[in-house]
Amino acid sequence: MAAYLIILAKIHDRDRFISGYATEAAKLVEQFGGQYLLRAPGATALEGSLGDGYSVVISAWPDRAAAEAFWHSREYREVAKLREGICDVEVQLIEGALTLPAE
């Protein structure tokens, strides 16, 4: 069953985040078999305590094992160091079938 990583990030230094972490993480997502469904800044909170302004990233994976292999890999752990001190993140991993509306 497909799996999805859903990431909410409050980015404090967007230039450093994009030029360092985001660029390197994107290479690894592809290498480990994932693909981005959404990467966008400026979320508006309609309910809850996180507040506005978060960037949202959703990536799709063949299954939970593939997403976890990426997240726990030595390569990603090294890349994750590039975001230390420049953003706060919340990360969720969920399995399920993607349901898209009919056109």
CB-CB contact of 4 with 58 (8 Å): yes
| Bridge partners, residue 59, by sequence | 5, 36
In the chain, where are the structural domains located?
Answer: 3-95
Helix residue ranges, H only, the chain: 14-16, 23-31, 64-71, 74-80
**Fold classification of 3-95 (topology level):** Alpha-Beta Plaits (3.30.70)
Instruction: For residue range 27-66, list pLDDT tens digits in order.
Output: 999 999 999 999 999 999 999 888 899 999 999 999 999 9
Q: Enter the tokens of residue 63.
A: 């299954």
Which pTM value belongs to this model? 0.90
Split at pLDDT 50, 70, 90, the class of 91 is very high
Phi/psi at 35 (5° precision): -145, 145
